[in-house]
Amino acid sequence: MRREIHERAFRLALRVARLRHDPSYVRMVREVVLRQMIRAATSIGANLEEATAAQSRADFASKVAIATKEAREMQYWLRLGREAGLLRDEEWSKLGPEAKEVAQVVSAIARSASRPSVAKLS
């Protein structure tokens, strides 16, 4: 997929998040974004745990691939939260870099898992 459509989709979500400024709308948007962040963040670890108990190389690779997708999704929600003004600077400065590092490590594991010789997570 071309990066351009990713950015257009993100900007659309951002415009919707900023649609209204009344407190009840802002609170609802914040809750939605936080819920999605929690879901994505917890799914990364859960899928890595499942990968650790994989029954086959294919099962391992599949679980790590899902964790990679969730890590990317987490980065998306963090970015949306930041740009929509839903995250404070100190929240972003702690979560943003950590989410990026986790995504990079999980992605590297996924690439390794797709090669013929796969080492299990320990």
Reported as a single tens digit per residue, the pLDDT across 49-90 is 999 999 999 999 999 999 999 999 999 999 999 999 999 999
For residues 80 and 13, give the distance between their C-alpha atoms in angstroms, rounded to a whole number: 8
Mean pLDDT in the chain? Answer: 93
CB 97 within 8 A of CB 114: no
CA 4 centroid distance within chain: 19
pLDDT band at 122 (very low <50, low <70, confident <90, very high): low
Question: Above 90 in pLDDT, residue 12?
Answer: yes
Superfamily of the domain at 3-111: 23S rRNA-intervening sequence (1.20.1440.60)
pLDDT band at 119 (very low <50, low <70, confident <90, very high): low
Q: What is the pLDDT of residue 2?
A: 81
In terms of Cβ atoms closer than 10 Å to its own Cβ (0-12, 13-18, 19+), residue 41 is: buried
Buried residues in 104-116 as b, exposed as e (16+ CB within 10 A)? eebbebbeebeee
Q: What are the tens digits of pLDDT across the range 94-104?
A: 999 999 999 99
The residue extents of the domains of the chain are 3-111
Q: What are the helix (H) ranges across the chain?
A: 3-17, 23-52, 57-83, 89-113
Q: What 8-state DSSP symbol labels residue 38? A: H
The fraction of the chain above a pLDDT of 70, given in percent, is 94
